[in-house]
Structure 1
Amino acid sequence: MRHFDLSPLYRSTVGFDRLFSMLDQVGAPDAGSTYPPYNIERTAENDYRITMAVAGFSTDELTIEVRENTLTVKGEKQVESEESKEVLYRGIASRAFERRFQLADHVVVNGASLENGLLHVDLKREIPEAKKPRNIEIAAPSGASRKQLEGEVETA
């Protein structure tokens, strides 16, 4: 049993409910779907790439959507007429799929490309200026010594 009771944390935190819901979902068993296989790579400090093996799918048969920090990749093969050919063995998967990825805050999709049967989705974490750390100068009464957060202490 891998279930953790996070309800005590709800009482003492504000704004972390989405994080706790994601932690609950991590322990939940997936539908068992491993199709299509994928890789998640970090290509730079704030750049990521998801690579999915989607052999046999064209760009018209793939859909990529981002909604509320969830990236959804869907693939659906167009129906081919079976009248003109007789398939003796079907080993190439042509089933529809839907794969979801939870994105962290401030992660945006930069683009996607399909080459050699691999779908590449490029992601970037763009932290807004308001969220980046900044230095605050400490004001002192006039005539008193001034201090700074970084550097040496100045005296008047």
Structure 2
Amino acid sequence: MRTHFDFAPYRRSTVGFDHLFDLLEAGARGDSSDGYPPFDIERSGDDMYRITLAVAGYRPDEIEVVAQRNQLTVTGRRAEDKEDSRYLHRGIAARPFERRFQLADFVEVGAATFDNGLLIIELQRVVPENLKPRKIAIGGGSPTPERIEAPQDEALEVA
């Protein structure tokens, strides 16, 4: 069974879509991360979104949220445990993580809150006014178009 799709023919016939094909190929390969931390993405309104990450065992000061152009990166690094701690079983993940989210154009990252081991990041799509569709009024003209007259040359006399 073939699990790889070849985008080469499309790459040859398009210009400027390299980033899109890279994302599609990365998605087909499967993300290199192991799925940690688990997350939800929900739509909370017409142009509002919410990403919720389950980051049990982390404190807010151990998590960093960075928004760059079209990318949101969430990184977690736990502080070192004290030497006197002796775990009999350690089931709560303590490994560092980095989770990246590709954002569509005009999606802005809003507030980030931390509650009961869940990191909640609010997103909103904000399209600039000059890019929003607008209705163009059709102006009325005179009922009959004006004619442009050519200048009259003196008549030629025929002898």
**Structure 1 residue 10: deviation in Å?**
4.3
Q: Which residue of 1 aligns with 2:113?
A: 113
Q: Does 2:67 match 1:66?
A: yes
Alignment correspondent of 1:153: none
Query: Which residue matches 1:94?
Result: 94
Stretches of structure 2 lacking an aligned partner (at least 5 in a row): 146-159
Number of residue pairs aligned between Structure 1 and Structure 2: 144
Shift of 1:89: 1.6
1:81 match: 82
For residues 112-151 of structure 1, the aligned pairs below 5 Å read 112-139=112-139, 141-144=141-144
Structural RMSD (CA): 2.1
Seen in structure 2, the aligned counterparts of structure 1 residues 95 and 22 have a Cα distance that, compared at 3 Å, is: same
Normalised TM-score (structure 1) = 0.81
Distance in 1 (alpha carbons) for counterparts of 2:117 and 2:99: 16
Residue number in structure 1 paired with 2:58: 57
Residue 22 (structure 1) shift:
1.9
Report the counterpart of residue 37 of structure 1 in structure 2. Answer: 38
Q: 1:127 to 1:144 in 2, by over 3 A?
A: farther
2-structure distance, mates of 1:144, 1:14: 47
Distance change (3 Å), C-alpha of 1:127 and 1:81: same
In terms of Rg, which structure is larger?
Answer: 2
Give me the whole-angstrom Cα distance separating, in 2, the residues matched to 1:113 and 1:25.
30
1:148 alignment counterpart:
none
Worse-matched range after superposition: 135-144 or 66-75: 135-144
Instruction: Give the C-alpha shift of residue 137 in structure 1.
Output: 3.1
Unmatched runs of 5 consecutive residues or more in structure 1: 146-156
Cα distance in 2 for residues equivalent to 1:141 and 1:6? 52
